[in-house]
Amino acid sequence: MTFDRRTAMGIGAAGLAVMAVPGLAAPAGSRFRVEGNAFLLDGKPFQILAGEMHYPRIPRALWRDRLRKMRALGFNTLSAYMFWNIHEQTPGVFDFADNLDVAAWVRMAQEEGLFVLLRPGPYVCAEWDGGGLPAWLFPDSGTPARALDPRFMKPSARWLKRLGEELAPLQIDRGGPIIMTQIENEYGAFGSDQRYLLALRDATRAAGFAGQLYMVDGASVLDKGTLPGIPAGINFGTFTQDEAERAFKERAEKGFGGPDFCSEFWAGWFDHWHETHATTSTENVVANLKWMLERKMSVSFYMFHGGTSFGTWAGANFDLDKNHYEPTISSYDYDALLDEAGRPTAKYAAVRKLLADYLPADRFGELPPAEKALTVAPFALDEAAPLAQVLGPAQLAEDPRTLEGCGRTAGMLLYRHRLAEAVSGELSLSEVRDLALVSIDGKPAATLDRRRHDTGFAIDAPAGATIEVLVDAMGHANYGKGLGKDQKGLIGPVAVNGAQLKGWEHRPVLIEEPGRLAFAKRRGAETGPAFYRGAFTISEAGFTFLDMRGWGKGYVWVNGHNLGRYWSAGPQRGVFVPAPWLKVGRNEVVVLDLFGPAETMLAGVTEMIWDRAAKLPEA
């Protein structure tokens, strides 16, 4: 269809009119259910054409723009994970305000003519820190994840109940857009405890989600991760042109019926640091989608738009058996239908062209006005502040504690030990999670990287010398058996020639409080970790990407917003700055760099900068 300003009901975020979309919104009291092999909306067959987007990865002022671009493509449903750990960062204290107002997110989808597939977890994966599970759940590796154990189930049920207060009233039979609620998430790839799944189903029902339930998994593990009587979608990628056919064939061979539904159609892929930028071919996406459309199957694109894992929220893969750790970058571009900045890609155009052969013309809409991509001339960050200004209160212990053991869930932790006697030999740190900068009496001594399994170096230091270990934590594992077993910091004792060093001071780095920094003009090249500040001006609204080439590793803030991590390791060599977080006029930039940049300059460009790091370079 074509959006007509005469149908506007008001003005939404980012200045976009709120449209009444005819023909899609269901009347109050509608019913969505599964009967045999069909989805039924008010008794009529319904084909789900969905796309996945994540509210914390998109500034709230841009929600409507992204939803409208989904609706313009002819889609009728938003698929939406809920991220437990960003809402309950302290046990029992929930936040559903501002960018975390999930009820507003769901209502806005309805205003734009979209139904909603609700995916409440508690585990969601999504390349998100901990897969959505709060780090405070796991002060040590003893608490099991995704298990019937009350240490996991009790807080999980509390989360679902609190989420239900926000979203249960928005189920379709109560006039809202939520047509189905998911139980767990790809559980068959993790475990097979039916008692746990039943308990989670009951907790979801007790939270007020009384409508149609569903589950999702890979076709090969459906028998492990599903429950009888609850329909299950299957997830697969686009790495070949026949993946859809093979996945549905395997599903049928395993004896699974119900609606034919691809619950995650991976039309792109994610990136780890030190890898090449992942892409998938448009031709493969179109070929697999066409195969499903010809059979009137339902499908949900993962991702329709990925956005950005701002701050510390990017996750990691952690193979516990091989002790192999792969942190995920902050950009969640995903090579999706919309790029990280929300611009339609070649895949978007190709999918639109294909859908025109299967959907009536009035299913499509006009794209909203495009935001402007801005170029920012090079500017200097000519002020600096030491890391010491944001150190939190000291905690003392005989042996090194983890980040979680110090009551923190993300960021950095500084360890200090004063040598009682001279030492010479091998300083051994049992395990570093995830990157450690070691200094002796303020002089850099070693950089230890978890990915390389670095655990020690040669030391020769006098009595009274102070050893400092600054540990930078990357994302907690979001997939596999490493869930809940990825505590951060120094894991185990520190020893010299086998003799353990006792007596440690722990000080958290309060990166969430950059406003407390007192900057001064730079007088020369800083060595080691420091904050840098500068500013640039713009004369019109728009977005940009800050070019981080020439910098080492750390975080970037613009006007107080933490844009996420950067690392010279690649493949991401820039950071996205959304238009709503920029101001016409002066914009302040703060950069934390752990290594000290060669030149403290930045510039803004119109595209993300990707490189092709093919090996593990020195940190």
Catalytic residues: 186, 264
Buried b (16+ CB within 10 A) or exposed e, 530-552: bbbbbbbebeeebbbbbbbeebb
Q: At what angle do helices 102-111 and 150-167 cross, to 10 degrees?
A: 40
The Cα 455–Cα 447 span in angstroms is 10
The Cα 346–Cα 278 span in angstroms is 16
Concatenating the DSSP letter of every residue in 378-427 gives: EEE--EEEEGGGGB---EEESSPPBTGGGT--SSEEEEEEE-SS-EEEEE
Query: Which value, to the nearest 10 degrees, does the dihedral of the CA atoms of residues 269, 270, 275, 281 take?
Result: 20
Q: What are the tokens at 44? A: 């009529």
Q: Please name the amino acid found at residue 608.
A: M
Q: Which of 507, 511, 517, 510 is nearest to 564 (CA)?
A: 511
E-state strands within 23-175: 32-35, 38-41, 44-45, 49-52, 77-81, 115-119
List 326's β-bridge partners, or say none. 317
Maximum separation of any 2 CA atoms in the chain, in Å: 81
Backbone angles phi, psi at 470, to 5 degrees: -95, 115
Q: Which of 534, 540, 532 is nearest to 375 (CA)?
A: 540
Q: Which of 10, 3, 38, 6 is nearest to 24 (CA)?
A: 3
Would you say 450 and 424 are in contact if contact means Cβ atoms under 8 Å apart? no
Contacts of the segment 557-561: beta carbons below 8 A, 24+ positions apart: 557/514, 557/589, 557/590, 557/591, 558/582, 558/587, 558/588, 558/589, 559/583, 559/587, 559/588, 560/514, 560/515, 560/588, 561/310
Backbone angles phi, psi at 475, to 5 degrees: -70, 145
The Cα 528–Cα 464 span in angstroms is 22
Q: At what angle do helices 150-167 and 194-206 cross, to 10 degrees?
A: 30
